[in-house]
Structure 1
C-alpha cells in the first residue's frame, strides 16, 4: 500500500510539473531547509493529519484514505469557515475575488 502511495505521489508530481510547464507557470520551490517557504502547506497538512488521519486510524485500505482525503478537501474548500478571509470558505472567497476583479464584457448591439 505504501509503495502504491509513493508511485501515485511521484506520478502526480510529474503530471503537475508538466501541467505547470504547459501553462508557462514557474513552480515555486524553496531552498533546502527553508521552512518559511512551506509554512502554509505544513499548516494545512498538520490540520489534515489532526482532523482526519489520526482520529480515523487504523486505516483498512488506501481507498479509505483516498475517499476521506477527498471529502476533507471538499469540506475544507467549500464549507469550512476561515477567519483570515472573513469567516467564509475559500471557494466563496475566490469567487468573490474574481467577481470583483472581472472586466466588463462588451456586447454588440444593433
Structure 2
C-alpha cells in the first residue's frame, strides 16, 4: 500500500471510529464536489475571465480579493432575506449570545 493510500485509509478508519461520515457520496460520484465546482465556476466566470488576459499573479490576487469581499460583504443572498452573508452571520451570532443577568432581549 502506498503512503498516501495508507494515510487515507487511516484517516477514514478514524472517522468511522468516532462516528463521522467521510463523504456524502460514494467514491467516483460528483456529490462531494458539486458545491465547490459550482463556486469555482462562479469565480472563473465573474472575476477571472472578464479581466483576461492577466498580466501576472498580482492581477489574479487583486481580482480574487475584490471578488471575495463582494461575495461576502456586498452580495445580496436570496436564501437569507436579501442581505449579505456577513450581515446574516452577525445577526445570527447576536441572537445566540447569552444575555447578561438582568438584561431582557
TM-score bucket (shorter structure): 0.5 to 0.7
**1:101 corresponds to 2:96:** yes
In the superposition, the TM-score normalised over structure 2's length comes to 0.66
Partner SS state of residue 55, structure 1: helix
Distance, in Å, in 2 between the alignment partners of 1:65 and 1:98 is: 33
Distance, in Å, in 2 between the alignment partners of 1:33 and 1:106 is: 53
Could you say which structure has the higher helix fraction? 1
Instruction: Tell me by how many angstroms 1:29 deviates.
Output: 6.0
Q: 1:79 aligns with which of 74, 86, 100?
A: 74
**1:92 corresponds to 2:87:** yes
In the superposition, the TM-score normalised over structure 1's length comes to 0.64
Q: Alignment RMSD, CA only? A: 2.0
* Cα distance, 1:95–1:54 mapped onto 2, change above 3 Å: same
Distance, in Å, in 2 between the alignment partners of 1:53 and 1:90 is: 22
Gaps spanning 5+ residues in structure 2: where?
1-20
Gaps spanning 5+ residues in structure 1: where?
1-27
Distance, in Å, in 2 between the alignment partners of 1:84 and 1:74 is: 19
Runs of 4+ in 1 over 3 A off after TM superposition: 28-32
Q: 2:63 aligns with which of 57, 68, 71?
A: 68
Report which structure shows greater RCO (CA 8 Å, sep ≥6).
1
